[in-house]
Structure 1
Amino acid sequence: MPNTPKTQEFFRLFDVMTKEELYYLEHPVNSSLSSGNISFSWYDLQQRAEAEHGCSMRHNRSLLVIRHLRYVPNQTYSHAFFELLYVQRGECVCTFAHKKETLRAGELCILPPLQKHHIYPVGDSIALSIFIHPSMLTDSFFTFLHLPDMLLHFFTASTREARQQYFVFRSRIPDNSPLPFQVLSLYLEIHKSDSLSDTMLSSMLISLLITLVRSEELLIHSLRENSETDKILSLFQNNYDTITLSELAAKLHYTVPYCSRYLKKNFGSTFSELLRRTRFQRAEELLTGSHMTVCQISDELGYENPESFIRIFKKKYQMTPAQYRVQTSENSADPL
């Protein structure tokens, strides 16, 4: 659908500022500077989406769309999901893997999982991120098969090493381009709670990706490998069941005290906090995408016993792992 005045009117929804944006508009700081580093689980992103959209999300939602706040000091963050950053108005600076991409209105960047990055909307710019949970790629595998080879390999590669690419879409958006409407439609579909919503989101995402490929403006770039922070994230992701602070320090050739300080300075978290977030991300994946028992998942994550896992999980999610699985299963099986 073309970028009609009606579509432009819809996008004015984003002109309403949050209390946080209004505060920093009146008390400006240099929001281009990072104010810390955080690792998000899917649950964390869902909480942000609920605050953004003002409604409760389906527990098994596999795609989220979140607007980046203007004027607010931004955190550097990372997560285990694919992210599409789209600029609807103005320009946005995205810094990651020692690279910097400045995106202008109508441009888009596709980032692989595990990339620490900092996003800075310039001034009154509007930038949105689309986060894709691995379950969407699994549940909609045959739909994703229709993607061109370069994107199919990017989204379905099973190892981090195979995802050492990112994509940038740069093009002046013509008046008849469907791209702004497709992004807006994804944003609005997030509000739906019926059992077909995830299927609709998957189809809409594929449609958006095809629009990008058809434009012939989707550029492939390589990531610089082996930065220290990327190496640390990889060690957590690949050894979350057994790794200790001493082992991490040894692998990095650090002393234990220096390793602790490095994690706090560069990730804004302690070793225990980073390990817990990594385990939470993996627990979500196993509870929603496998038939493993809670005991098996507890063992897979490296907990001493299931009781410890259940207690820590319940403190984070306000429900037990079994209740979480049942709830997401019931949501996916809602009657038409």
Structure 2
Amino acid sequence: MNEREGKWTAIDKALLGKLKEITDEERTILSGNSTVARNLYTNEKDFVVDSRKMLARGKLIDIRTHTRFIRFPRHKHNYIEIIYMVSGTTTHIINDSRQVVLNPGDLLFLNQNAFQEILPAGMEDIAINFIILPEFFDVAFQMLDGENLLKNFLVDSLRQDNRTAGYLYFKVADILPVQNLLENMIWSILNEQPNRHRINQTTMGLLFLQLLNYMDKIEQCEDDPYDNYLTLSVLRHIEENYRDSNLTLLARELNQPVYLLSRLIKRNTGCTYKELLQRKRFQKAVELLGDTTLSINDIITAVGYDNTSYFHRIFREKYEMSPRQYRIKKKQM
């Protein structure tokens, strides 16, 4: 038993045992199936692991153990993946050339454009895959001041441009606060802790702040700093000015024509400026619905809408319930 696995056993032996359990997919592999069942991961011709297959409707984050006993073929994800090595090792081929061997306690961040292949893992090689949609990182984004490697990675992770096939590899097995934060998130997700969404978003932000203290323990894939700057500026503007955000004024501040900035936003994030702004406004609206006693009309005004009918229609399309029903549901959780 290695040192990290011993730590896990001391903390929660039952949890470690749960993570080691052979899954139905692995049982099929052990029975003689020599290929990964792609239909479990995607319906597309290209092997892009689909978040709709990995996450229940409405979830922004979940975890699963890495599939052992077989080579996992070359693939990408349409979400952000964070791999945390619990015990043993796994070997990852990234972007067809870079080999990364994860040891217990190591972390590997992959954006949506990074290609990955994983060599066969054994029974004791336990890796946890965090499956995360970009909007989950809203709180972490706010907690990261200034420009830094992790904030730039989050920006890159919104992109749809294959020039930004990035990854971050942290060798942080000996950093106890990092390990504790990761294990807290795993426990919270597996046990469906009340208020886990807010807790896990905050914990992720704290994890990023801790990782910033150990940048000497990181390897990275470099990227285009100019595109990073412009995209980061747009996201920061929306984050800080979502109530009255204005693309024309932002373009003037960045000394960019509006049509070029619009094109850049769409290319680098996969969303239009309006879609990014709406996503932030609704993220704030549901936060206020769950955490305050403000009237729904006051919340609509607070997040920047002056047409209540439009807000109610879009809210119902997005969440399949009215704002009032959403508030009642949140209070019952």
Task: Give the match's secondary structure for 1:183.
Answer: helix
Cα 1:95–1:282 change in 2 (3 A) is farther
Q: Percent identical across equivalent pairs?
A: 15
Cα 1:6–1:30 change in 2 (3 A) is same
2:54 to 15, 32, 45: 45
Q: Deviations for 1:42-96, whole angstroms, at most 9, x for unmatched residues? A: 221115xxxxxxxxxxx43222222112114534332232211121111112223
Residue 89 of structure 2: aligned partner:
91
The farther-off stretch of 9-18 and 151-160 is 151-160
Cα 1:138–1:4 change in 2 (3 A) is closer
Count of matched residue pairs: 234
Q: Distance in 2 between matches of 1:164 and 1:90?
A: 27
Cα 1:327–1:88 change in 2 (3 A) is farther
1:169 matches 2:173: no
- Answer yes or no: is the 8 Å Cα contact 2:74–2:115 preserved in 1: yes
Q: Distance in 2 between matches of 1:222 and 1:142?
A: 23
Residue 231 of structure 2: aligned partner:
none
- Answer yes or no: is the 8 Å Cα contact 1:97–1:223 preserved in 2: no
Task: Give the match's secondary structure for 1:202.
Answer: helix
Residue 229 of structure 1: aligned partner:
none
Task: Give the match's secondary structure for 1:88.
Answer: strand
Task: Give the match's secondary structure for 1:200.
Answer: helix
The farther-off stretch of 118-127 and 178-187 is 178-187
Q: Distance in 1 between matches of 2:182 and 2:24?
A: 25
- Answer yes or no: is the 8 Å Cα contact 1:92–1:104 preserved in 2: yes
The farther-off stretch of 126-135 and 184-193 is 184-193
Give the TM-score normalised by structure 2: 0.56
Residue 16 of structure 2: aligned partner:
11
Equivalent residues in 2 for 1:105-184 (5 A)? 105-124=104-123, 125-138=125-138, 141-143=141-143, 145-146=144-145, 149-157=148-156, 159-160=159-160, 163-171=164-172, 173-174=173-174, 177-184=176-183
- Answer yes or no: is the 8 Å Cα contact 1:3–1:178 preserved in 2: no
- Answer yes or no: is the 8 Å Cα contact 1:109–1:166 preserved in 2: yes
2:330 to 324, 331, 334: 334
Q: Deviations for 1:227-255, whole angstroms, at most 9, x for unmatched residues? A: xxxxxxxxxxxxxxxxxxxxxxxxxxxxx
Give the partner amino acid of 2:88.
G
Task: Give the match's secondary structure for 1:190.
Answer: helix
Cα 1:71–1:5 change in 2 (3 A) is closer
Give the partner amino acid of 2:69.
Y
Task: Give the match's secondary structure for 1:153.
Answer: helix
Q: CA RMSD in A?
A: 4.0
Q: Distance in 2 between matches of 1:17 and 1:328?
A: 41
Superposed displacement of residue 152, structure 1? 1.0
- Answer yes or no: is the 8 Å Cα contact 1:87–1:108 preserved in 2: yes
Superposed displacement of residue 127, structure 1? 0.9
Give the TM-score normalised by structure 1: 0.56
Superposed displacement of residue 121, structure 1? 5.0
Residue 25 of structure 1: aligned partner:
30
Of structures 1 and 2, the one with the larger relative CO (CA 8 A, separation 6+) is 1
